[in-house]
Amino acid sequence: MDCQQARAQLELERLGKDAAPGSDALAAGRHLSECDVCRGAVASDRQVDSRITRAMLDVPVPIGFADRLHAAIGPALVVAETPVAVPRRHLLRHLGWGSLALVPMLAIGTLLVSQSVVLNDASIRELGKLDPSLLPVGSSPGIAAPAGWSTLRAIRFADAPRVATVNRVEIPLLMFSALGDRRSASCTGYLVRLPLSQWHKVPDADSFSRGIIQYAAFGTWVVWREGDNVVICVLQGDAHAMQRLQDLVAAGRQLT
Amino acid sequence: MADATRLPTTHELIEEHSTLLYRYAYRLTGDAADAEDLVQQTFLLAHQRGQQLREAAAARGWLISIVRNVFLKSIRHRNRGRSLEEIDEPQTTDAALDVPVHLELLQEALLELAEEFRSPLVLYYFEEFSYQDIAQQMGVPIGTVMSRLSRGKAYLKRRLTETTERERQTVPVQSRSLEFVLQH
């Protein structure tokens, strides 16, 4: 066995180290014990391997990465883990004919509940599936832009809000486009403003720039509180587009 | 007492595997933003397909395979790197010795390889996957994995060596300082 063959054999052994040694392996081992050049080369090769291993693992994970993943998965978990409703057939068996009397009461109850429905991240996911440009234009007065946004030249707002219906609640959307620059493309999105009571919890963030970016297939969104309102910015773009928008707004507010 | 048969929740999977998945995704894509998106899609899919996971011990391999599948879908219409035919059988050369590893160059060299070489190489160097694991991930026999690894490793070392040699000749001071940084 020559140097070339021995080193090729040793490399294969190294790759498949759990395999039982055959006659080629023994021959390669013998060659190695007799050849200083190959011994040096193999040792050096293994050193290179360990350096590549170190370098391969040297990938810094972005700060807050796991938190963003939890935030993205969180709303989906709420939906998936909601207990399954008792089948109606089962319920009727227990209640018998008396249940018929419940029907009008349930209808009235549903109407009442729909008036005070509370929205959450799952609602935003539903909203995100809609194409806002195809939604009807609302007759109500415009939505106030969030603090610091209206002075930004890179952001253009639509003249009139569009109206989306989610969970039987009409939600006005203020569409906007954020102009790109040399490093980033333009993107479009919309803003939703709700009374705090209509959102499932008080958001932690008190400004757009401090809000956690949440992901879905349609894009990203950020929720924050502003006075007695909850403001939601939905962007048809990835987290980096949203991050740029947050930076833009933060920088604009610092300047003003 | 913890139940060993209990399957992990998506949040537990994130806690345990997101770092490994991100590193793998980064090595596949070469871009931090793409890697982040890839991992996020992976966990969303994992959450939707939770019933596919039958035992907690298989979670890591299952998640890695989702990352790889999502990545393969995303590159379907792109340049897929050097194919099997373009990569020579490994040659033993002494020039491959004593190579300082330049991080950007390593990523550049990885991205030049077709995914069928890149994935097993990354998993091999992560040192967390056996050849059997890698073969299962790739859906190929273990011999094929060994052959791809052998060719891929040789290509990687040759590529790192060639460029390092060139750097040494053209910009000796910068090269040496880089070598110092990587060796310490």
CATH number at residue B180: 1.10.10.10
pLDDT, position B100: 64
More confident of the two residues A89 and B126: B126
Nearest to B146 among A3, A15, A40 (CB): A15
**Which of these three, B25, B52, B78, is where a domain ends?**
B78
- Whether residues B150 and A12 touch (CB distance < 8 A) is answered with yes
Sequence-ordered strand ranges (E) for chain A: 155-157, 162-166, 169-178, 187-195, 214-215, 220-226, 229-235
Query: Which of residues A78 and A171 earns the better pLDDT score?
Result: A171
Mutant choice from A2, A17, A61 vs B, greatest count of B C-beta within 10 A: A61
Same domain, B127 and B180: yes
Mean pLDDT of A7-34: 69
Confidence grade of residue A113 (pLDDT, cut at 50, 70, 90): very low
Q: Per-residue pLDDT for A15 more than 90?
A: no
* Chain A residue with the nearest C-alpha to that of B127: A53
Q: What integer best gives the mean pLDDT of chain A?
A: 74
Reported ipTM: the value is 0.75
Closest chain A residue to B30 measured between Cα atoms? A59
Of A3, A44, A238, the CB nearest to B98: A44
Contact B97 A7 (CB under 8 A): no
Domain shared by B30 and B90, yes or no: no
Low-confidence ranges of chain B (pLDDT < 50): 1-2, 84, 90, 92-97, 171-184
Pick the range with the lowest mean pLDDT from A3-7, A127-131, B15-19, B163-167: B163-167
Q: Is B29 exposed, middle or buried (0-12, 13-18, 19+ CB in 10 A)?
A: buried
Do B44 and B112 fall into the same domain?
A: no
> What are the residue ranges spanned by the domains of chain A?
3-57, 65-255
What are the Cα distances from residue A4, in Å, to A64, A183, B28, B126, B146?
49, 50, 32, 28, 18
| B9 and B93, same domain (yes or no) | no
Structural domain including B123 reads 80-184
pLDDT at position A245 is 86
pLDDT score at A80: 39
Write the pLDDT tens digit of every residue in A147-199: 888 888 888 888 888 888 776 777 888 888 888 776 667 788 899 988 888 88
State how far residue A38 is from chain B, nearest Cα, in angstroms. Answer: 9
Q: Which of B58, B78, B98 is the last residue of a domain?
A: B78
Within this chain, do residues B2 and B85 fall inside the same structural domain, yes or no? Answer: no
pLDDT given for residue B168 in this prediction: 55
Residue % of chain A over a pLDDT of 90: 5
Q: What is the DSSP string of B45-73?
A: HHHHTGGG---GGGHHHHHHHHHHHHHHH
Q: Which residues of B touch A18 (CB under 8 A)?
A: 130-131
- Chain B residue numbers with beta carbons less than 8 Å from the beta carbon of A55 are 101, 103, 106, 182
Q: State how far Cα A57 lies from the chain centre.
A: 25
Which of B23, B131, B156 is facing A59, going by the closest CB pair? B23
Residues A19-29 pLDDT 10s: 545 677 778 77
Distance from CA of B19 to the nearest CA of A (A): 7
The per-residue pLDDT for A53 is 87
- The winner for highest mean pLDDT among A14-23, A112-121, B154-163 is B154-163
What's the CA gap between A146 and A157, in Å, rounded? 11
Q: Cα dihedral sign for B139, B145, B147, B152?
A: positive
**What is the CATH number for B62?**
1.10.1740.10
Report how many domains make up chain B.
2
